[in-house]
């Protein structure tokens, strides 16, 4: 979910340096959030969007509510792209890791019994 800067923005520019994606720009003195760059801080270490957290006016930066179906399809596309990315050998890597850990535990049990 992306965010937008409202008319309640006081132009303090506290949001500019804290945005981890650099989605906030100033054009002709007006602060704007590029919706194609903004990810709502979901893929970062932050638990809340930093533009909202740093805004002293509290309503200067709010969620950009899209149409329900537009949001649904955006979420769907993100899920499908994550499923298609580099999952070719996931189960093979999981099995190799699990079987190695399991064999190590079995060896420890054998040593304890002996």
Cα–Cα distance, 4 to 28 (Å, whole number): 17
Residue range 22-62, pLDDT digits in tens:
999 999 999 999 988 998 888 788 888 999 998 999 888 88
99: enclosing H helix or E strand: helix 90-113
Distance CA 40, CA 63 (A): 9
Summarize the confidence of residues 95-104 as an average pLDDT.
86
Q: Give the residue, 18 or 91, on which the prediction is more confident.
A: 18
Banded model confidence at residue 88, pLDDT cuts 50, 70, 90: low
Confidence class of residue 86 from pLDDT cuts 50, 70 and 90? low
Which of 61, 66, 64, 65 shows the shortest CA–CA distance to 7?
Answer: 61
Q: Spelled out in words, what is the top-level CATH class assigned to the domain 1-65?
A: alpha beta
């Amino acid at each position: 979910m992306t965010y937008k800067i409202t008319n309640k923005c006081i132009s303090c520019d506290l949001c500019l340096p804290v945005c981890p994606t650099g989605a906030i720009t100033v054009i002709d003195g007006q602060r704007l959030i590029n919706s194609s760059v903004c990810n709502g801080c979901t893929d970062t270490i932050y638990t809340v969007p930093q533009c909202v957290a740093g805004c002293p006016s509290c309503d200067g930066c709010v969620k950009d509510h899209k149409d329900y179906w537009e949001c649904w399809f955006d979420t769907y596309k993100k899920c499908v792209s994550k499923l298609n990315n580099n999952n070719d050998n996931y189960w093979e890597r999981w099995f190799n890791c699990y079987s190695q850990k399991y064999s190590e535990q079995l060896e420890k049990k054998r040593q304890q019994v002996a």
